[in-house]
Chain A
Amino acid sequence: EAEVAQSPRYKITEKSQAVAFWCDPISGHATLYWYRQILGQGPELLVQFQDESVVDDSQLPKDRFSAERLKGVDSTLKIQPAELGDSAMYLCASSQGGMHTDTQYFGPGTRLTVL
């Protein structure tokens, strides 16, 4: 069964350092999402891509976060500099993109701890 891949699974960094997360969506999925999830809360959308174009990044803290999907396949989310409040689970999801109501399938996530 096709899955969304993410790496690393865990990342510990010190504040003010740069971190990067990678996501490879299910093959053929045009839409890719990055979410942040704090323990005990639902996921919060950071950025949504349709192919290589950003559809929604209204909740992305653009002073420190950036995301790209240059060839419309895999994607990278970067934080520079990391702050203590960035500690969370970062989830990547993908959907076929043919219909707006397509189901989103999630990768295993990256657990970020900022010290």
Chain B
Amino acid sequence: GQNIDQPTEMTATEGAIVQINCTYQTSGFNGLFWYQQHAGEAPTFLSYNVLDGLEEKGRFSSFLSRSKGYSYLLLKELQMKDSASYLCAVMDSNYQLIWGAGTKLIIKP
């Protein structure tokens, strides 16, 4: 079966750095997406990785290792507005997105 694993919940302090991990086992791989979802709202696109390595976009960076079936989302200089769920999704060999359950990130002052 296909599986995406993420921690259920994480807590971090405003101004700090947090790393949210995602491991996956899917039938094929055509890229990995990270989305941010505030409570009661729709997911918004953060990043897309298809090659190994780090992609940096402002305060957010995403890393991929295809050989290890592993990705992480790194958030720097945390702000209160970063409190949200972060969803990892992998596109499989049929170009279908397989979604993780999301990691709820709680930011404390």
Contacts and interface: CB of A to CB of B under 8 A. Distances in A.
A25 B4 CA distance: 28
Interface in A88-112: 91, 100-101, 103-109, 111
A107 B43 CA distance: 8
Interface stretch (A13-21, A38-46, A62-70, A79-87): A38-46
B63 to A, nearest CB: 18
Interface stretch (B52-60, B73-81, B98-106): B98-106
B64 interface: no
Interface of A: 40-45, 56, 91, 100-101, 103-109, 111
Interface of B: 4, 30-31, 33, 40-45, 48, 50, 87, 89, 91, 95-97, 99-102
Q: Is the interface of B mostly helix, strand, loop or mixed?
A: loop
Contact of A42 (B48, B50, B89, B95): B89
A100 B95 contact: yes
B40 A111 contact: yes
B100 A42 contact: yes
A109 B40 CA distance: 9
Contact of B43 (A43, A45, A111): A43
A98 to B, nearest CB: 13
A105 B101 CA distance: 18
Nearest to A4: B42
B42 A106 contact: yes
B42 to A, nearest CB: 4
Contact of A104 (B41, B97, B100): B97
Contacts of B91: 100-101
Contact of B102 (A42, A101, A106): A42
B43 A106 contact: yes
Contacts of B100: 42
